Amino acid sequence: MSGNLTIYLIVAALVTFAIRALPMFIFHKPIKNRFVRSFLYYVPYITLSVMVFPAIVLQTGSLISGIAAMAVGVLVAWFTSNLFLTASTVCVVALILELIL
């Protein structure tokens, strides 16, 4: 059992290292292509969104309250750029909709 765990940890470490180290060896010069630069600029935001979106929508008791709370959160974040206000508003909206539904 512990032999398999060691192998899994070594493979995970190697994959993580390869993902982080290979771009340094492959791309020696700065990237000049505007499309590639803009694509790489938005990759972290897209990755975070893809991981967080299902959790936001599916953590409430009903799908409607999750989607509504997320929509309100997007609007509040868009207009205020205040993280505390956005999180508080989303929680209140989700709570109210859960109590109603």
Mean pLDDT of 30-57: 87
Question: Contact 94/66 with Cβ under 8 angstroms?
Answer: yes
At 20 the pLDDT is 86
Arithmetic mean of pLDDT over the chain: 89
What's the pLDDT at 40?
84
Q: Residue 1: is its pLDDT beyond 80?
A: no
What's the confidence (pLDDT) of residue 88? Answer: 94
> What token pair was written down for 66?
């999750």
Q: Which residue has the higher pLDDT, 76 or 26?
A: 76
Task: Check: CB of residue 94 under 8 Å from CB of residue 60.
Answer: yes
Residue of higher predicted confidence among 50 and 2: 50
Mean per-residue pLDDT for 28-46?
87
